[in-house]
Structure 1
Amino acid sequence: MTERGPEPTDDSTTSGEGESADGRALYVFAVCGSPVPEAVLGLSGVTGGGPLRQVHFGELTALVQSVRAADFTDEVWEARLSDRAELEQYARAHHLVVSAAAASCPTVPLPLATLYHDEGRARHALLAETERFRTALERTAGRSEWGVKVYAAELPAPAADTAPRSAPATGGRARPAPGAGLAYLERKRGAQAQRERRQEDSLRLAESVDAAFHGVATAGRRLRPHAPELGGDCRVQVLNATYLVEESRAAEFGRLVRALRETTGARIEVSGPWVPYSFVGEV
């Protein structure tokens, strides 16, 4: 089993080494700025784990669960990554705990399957990251994450690209109609110019929409746009981003989305609010 903590430490070990005597490991869901309410501790956590509990380090609190170390060896986890249903089960359990904690106190979510061999090593590693956690708590306090995907307005399908037409000729052979070759080249040039204009328009749309969202958000991150063929979606995605927004400005953020849909004609899909996973690792 490999420890998967916020940062590598001298306590990190490799598969099979350092397990506790009873074969247990410590799963860490999040770091909180205050003690976690009992209602959160009553959640079930990940499959096969013990009761949720708190581990205090300095002024901060880690929300943890004792799990079977054998369930999280590198080999087992690699196999789990290829089992979509099982992986989703763990991801949902992790997210449920983190979301409940974030709804009740300042919270820094940790990545899925953050593990330590025992409580002592967990406390030591987390304590070394205290300053980073404090900064992340300050950065995300009272703020939520919103995902935004922007698709270009649908345009009419381009005309079919046909080869030069031929005219019948004597002797059973066809000859090109007068000017057919030139017309064909002109159509090819026109199609290329149209593709270039669409690309330029998409870039301008992405920049303008992103700038508008940054006017409301306190921070933002642009992600790689999804290719049109993914999931059979043929729409052209021009922006895939996530924004950190003050909870007091959530309604303003929603109004901006509606305004941009009207003014740009683009399809804008929004998801959230989420626990700000994307913004806790930048500090």
Structure 2
Amino acid sequence: MTTQQQAGTPANGTTAAETATYVYAVCRQLTPAALTGLPGLAEGFPVRALRCGALTAVVQHVPAAEFTQEAWEQRLSDRTQLERCARAHHEVVVAAAACGPTAPLALATLYRSDERARQALGEDAGRFTAVLDRIEGQAEWGVKVSLPAGAPRPPDETPSDGPHGSGKAGAGRAYLERKRGLHRAREQRHDRALQTAEDVDAALSRLATAARRLRPHGQELTGAASRRQILNAAYLLPHDRAEELAEAVETWRTRTGAQIELSGPWVPYSFVGEV
């Protein structure tokens, strides 16, 4: 890292007035080489460390004119642009996290200058320190549980004679009875699905330092029309309990017949805003 970069002066001939400071994350310690070569969100501006008292922010100069609120709104409303920005942000956070506990900041965290970033982050140093203490030696794991989404075949719209009687009266009673039976079956499946979600979450939560229930994804996001997601959760776990978690997930797959997806380890995005 050059002296110019350490001082926070743009290194490509751009003046400080023409740039803003984008902040990716806050950590305690950072090996400068871990950030080397990362493109971040702005070409021509190195991703670098910015000391904020006892803490270190991972930052990058970005062209101020291209990162206004209006520009961000346009960028984030475009799915392709949003995904590109999210990937670039995440790549930097992961590189920083390889050096030690790291608190990622939200996408589009911007300040007018390094000094303004240093001041704002320094004012929140107590919270960042508590977060870093909490996630040290921990990782986030994601668990998604899905069950078949098939529903019973609906009754015929035209009532017909059945075993409950003859003629229109008997056929009508049979038709209503079938509808009530289908309704009860749907309720029972719903109750069983809720209980499965509660049981899996309770078992995995006992292994975790912390757990969060997230909104289940609809079929339009999962792309699986034949399955319904009943649990979408995140668990903060010590690194040495990862194998235990995987074994528990496999046990619940066998016990319930549910599709259970385990993903991770991740930087603990879901748990950095709780202190």
Give the alignment's TM-score, normalised by structure 2. 0.87
Give 1:54 deviation, angstroms.
1.4
Residue 16 of structure 2 contacts residue 113 of structure 2 at CA under 8 Å; is this kept in 1?
A: no
Matched, 1:212 2:206: no
Give 1:52 deviation, angstroms.
1.7
Give 1:64 deviation, angstroms.
0.8
| CA deviation profile, 1:53-98 (whole Å, cap 9, x unmatched) | 2111111111111110111111111111122222211111111110
Give 1:228 deviation, angstroms.
3.2
Matched, 1:158 2:152: yes
Please, which runs of 5 or more residues in structure 2 have no aligned partner? 1-14
Report the more deviating stretch, 93-102 or 51-60: 51-60
Change (3 A) 1:151 1:33: same
Change (3 A) 1:64 1:202: same
Question: Could you tell me which residue of structure 2 aligns to residue 16 of structure 1?
Answer: none
Give the alignment's TM-score, normalised by structure 1. 0.85
Matched, 1:132 2:127: yes
Residue 142 of structure 2 contacts residue 234 of structure 2 at CA under 8 Å; is this kept in 1?
A: yes
| CA deviation profile, 1:137-157 (whole Å, cap 9, x unmatched) | 0111111111111112x3765
Give 1:273 deviation, angstroms.
1.1
| CA deviation profile, 1:226-249 (whole Å, cap 9, x unmatched) | 223445422111111111111111
Please state whether the residue corresponding to 1:282 is helix, strand or coil. coil
1:179 to 170, 182, 191: 170
Give 1:177 deviation, angstroms.
5.3
Give 1:128 deviation, angstroms.
0.5
Whose helix fraction is larger, Structure 1's or Structure 2's? Answer: 2
Question: Could you tell me which residue of structure 1 aligns to residue 236 of structure 2?
Answer: 244
Change (3 A) 1:263 1:112: same
Give 1:49 deviation, angstroms.
4.9
Report the more deviating stretch, 223-232 or 68-77: 223-232
Query: Could you tell me the percent identity over the aligned residues?
Result: 54
Question: Could you tell me which residue of structure 1 aligns to residue 46 of structure 2?
Answer: 51
Please, which runs of 5 or more residues in structure 1 have no aligned partner? 1-19, 168-174
**C-alpha separation between the residues in 2 aligned to 1:49 and 1:87?**
20
Give 1:192 deviation, angstroms.
0.6
Question: Could you tell me which residue of structure 2 aligns to residue 199 of structure 1?
Answer: 190
Change (3 A) 1:128 1:276: same
**C-alpha separation between the residues in 1 aligned to 2:44 and 2:242?**
36
Please state whether the residue corresponding to 1:62 is helix, strand or coil. strand
Question: Could you tell me which residue of structure 2 aligns to residue 9 of structure 1?
Answer: none
Change (3 A) 1:54 1:177: same
Question: Could you tell me which residue of structure 2 aligns to residue 190 of structure 1?
Answer: 181
Change (3 A) 1:41 1:63: farther
Give 1:21 deviation, angstroms.
5.4
**C-alpha separation between the residues in 1 aligned to 2:119 and 2:131?**
19
Question: Could you tell me which residue of structure 2 aligns to residue 267 of structure 1?
Answer: 259
Give 1:176 deviation, angstroms.
3.7
**C-alpha separation between the residues in 1 aligned to 2:220 and 2:30?**
46
1:110 to 87, 105, 111: 105
The aligned length equals 256
Residue 100 of structure 2 contacts residue 136 of structure 2 at CA under 8 Å; is this kept in 1?
A: no
**C-alpha separation between the residues in 2 aligned to 1:166 and 1:256?**
51
Question: Could you tell me which residue of structure 2 aligns to residue 94 of structure 1?
Answer: 89
Give 1:216 deviation, angstroms.
1.1
Question: Could you tell me which residue of structure 1 aligns to residue 9 of structure 2?
Answer: none
